[in-house]
Amino acid sequence: MSDRRLPGGPPAGTSAAGFAIAADRRLRLRRSVLILLAGDGGLRAWLRRGEKVEALGRLAEGAPETRTGEGLAGLLRRLAGSRRRRSVTVVLRLGANAGLVREDLLPRRAARNLGRILAHRIDLLTPWPADEAIFTCWNLRRREGGRIAVTVAVARKAQVDAALTALARFDLRPDIVDFVVDAPTAPPRFDLLLPPPESRLPAIVRGATVAALALLLLAGVRLGFELAAVESRINAGQIRLELLRRELAARTPVRPEADAPGTEAELVRELGAERASPLRLVDAMSRLLPDEVWLESLRMEGRKVEIRGVARDTAALARLFEASPDFSGLRFTAPAVRVEEAGGEGGPMVRFGLGVEAGGGLLLDAATAVETAR
């Protein structure tokens, strides 16, 4: 779901994923901001001047207009052709269920073709196909490990087109198109009509090649798991170093691995039994999860695995994990939340969070652990 103020929900300005939403610095608001909320077959309007908000009324589509509706319709028509338009920013706003706000991590070189790369990732970030969505991004910033973070706002294209059509009958074109994040009358934080920003990180642009960009596109979701595998090899090397330090401290000769209890192979074997293989985990997940499950995050710590995502049937998903010999200890880590208007023809979608413990063929065996440590 998109970020919005709900009882017991995240604080204002914070997404459902827990990261702060900074406004797009490219937005230029005039002295007055006219906010038009499209939905329920009509328009609701507010005029915002600084912190003061004035309700202008509601205009129902296809219904007899009340006095308030007539006044609002006249205001929109006068605003379209008057000089006063220059001092008013018109914001066309959709409901909270029309879009999603996500933070995406990408390689630094991806900033050179940010729009094209994100267009290929819309299927991974949202339940909607790329050809049915419209998106913008902003707040490009560096992260550790040679990556960049970017905030992405995505909405259903059909709902945006319907709202633009409803406003076009007044010959009025909006300056900004967004959806509800904090509150219907809050200042806009982004504009769905704005293209992705150009990178201001010279180190990202210099040296980027078409071949490297194609490789990054193909890597996609697997990149995070490959980084986890690198971290696993580093940890194994640290274990080996600690063993060598113990041997030097004891001032005893190094005995053959076959005859020495408590040697490197035995310690690594014990630690390997408590750690899952990232690559085996990815392969098992791809075989286990059906096509109607979209993963938003996957976290692995030793044998413990925690996943979050969107699915059509969480009960069926739980049965898949319980029936698998590679997983045990299923538990839900977050309450299931229905995603309004995100199910399409197949029915409603549900956001879930669950944790399991990896076992069986997913654990690092002794031979693999020793080889990794060397």
Mean pLDDT of 11-19: 59
Token pair belonging to 191: 């504009």
Q: Return the pLDDT at 77.
A: 83
SS3 of 21, please?
A: coil
CATH, residue 58 = 3.30.420.380
Share above pLDDT 90 across residues of the chain, in percent, rounded to a whole number: 21
Q: Is the pLDDT of residue 207 over 80?
A: no
Q: Kindly report the backbone phi and psi dihedral angles of residue 356, in degrees, each rounded to the nearest multiple of 5, phi listed first.
A: -140, 170
Q: Do 123 and 256 have their domain in common?
A: no
Q: How far apart are CA 143 and CA 160, in angstroms?
A: 32
Residue 121 has pLDDT above 80, yes or no: yes
Residue 320's nearest CA partner among 289, 278, 358 is 289
Q: Is the pLDDT of residue 367 over 70?
A: no
What is the pairing mode between strands 349-358 and 176-179? unpaired
Highest mean pLDDT among 173-182, 228-237, 253-262 belongs to 173-182
d(CA 329, CA 322): 8
pLDDT at residue 21 greater than cutoff 60: yes
Contact 33, 79 (CB under 8 A): no
Domain boundary among 176, 204, 232: 204
Kindly state whether residues 269 and 159 are assigned to the same domain.
Answer: no
Confidence of residue 295 (pLDDT cuts 50, 70, 90): confident
Range in 110-114, 200-204, 301-305 the model is least confident about: 200-204
Most confident of 45-59, 188-202, 269-283, 291-305: 45-59
Q: Is residue 107 part of a domain?
A: yes
Residues 261, 283, single domain; the answer is no
Integer angstrom CA distances of residue 3 from 18, 21, 342: 10, 9, 15
Tell me: do 144 and 269 sit in the same domain: no
- For tokens 């001047």, name the residue: 49
Spatial distance between the Cα atoms of 81 and 61, rounded to a whole number of angstroms: 22
Is residue 18 predicted with pLDDT exceeding 50?
yes
Strand order in the sheet with 52-60: 52-60, 42-49, 32-39, 88-94, 176-179
Q: Residue 135: pLDDT above 90?
A: yes
Domain boundary among 171, 204, 237: 204
The domain containing residue 63 runs over which residues?
32-204
Per-residue pLDDT reduced to its tens digit, 55-79: 988 888 754 444 555 678 888 888 8
Q: What is the model's pLDDT at position 11? A: 58
Average of per-residue pLDDT values in the chain: 78
Closest by CA to 178, choosing from 164, 166, 165, 168, is: 164
> At residue 322, does pLDDT exceed 80?
yes
Band of the pLDDT at 243, cuts 50, 70, 90? confident
Long-range contacts of 313-317 (CB under 8 A, 24+ apart): 313/350, 314/350, 314/352, 317/289, 317/293, 317/352, 317/354
pLDDT score, position 223: 65
Task: Quickly list DSSP for 260-277.
Answer: -TTSHHHHHHHHHTTSB-
Cα 32 to Cα 48: distance, rounded to the nearest angstrom: 6
- DSSP secondary structure string for all residues of 105-116: EEEGGGGGGHHH
Residue 212 lies in a domain: no
